Structure 1
Amino acid sequence: MMFSQLESAVLTFPLDQRAALAQKLLLSLEEPNDAEFDRLWGEESARRADECDAGLVQAIPGEAVAAKARALLK
């Protein structure tokens, strides 16, 4: 089925069914599957490591981050 045919068919659905489908479609964009998540995180971690190696960013010790988070929650 071509996209235009699918779109035309879906637009004939009742409002509640279109809304449910729209919600599922939006959620599918927000939550990558496991393989996509692993690929994206691999790219992000490599980018962050490169930034650290190049001296573009400075690492913050986990203890300092935790202390700041606790202070913000008080």
Structure 2
Amino acid sequence: MSPTFHKVSQFAVVSTEHLTIVLLITAGVFLFFIAIAVIKMYKLKAENKRLTDSDAFKAEVDESYKDFTDGHLYDNN
């Protein structure tokens, strides 16, 4: 075995303890981002429900519908 290969392989070896720590930190970061996304989803859902239940939205929906059957194409005399 050549001496350069031995030096390179010595630095390439990662202990399971170091790998476990890196994986736990990575999982923690992803769990943090998932928790933020879930919290934002519930806040947006609550805001959407509040806006949908408000009187301004109901008045806008009621005014937007117009009866189109009273036109000249239908005999509604």
Query: TM (normalized to structure 1)?
Result: 0.37
Query: TM (normalized to structure 2)?
Result: 0.36
Higher relative contact order (CA 8 A, sep 6+): 1
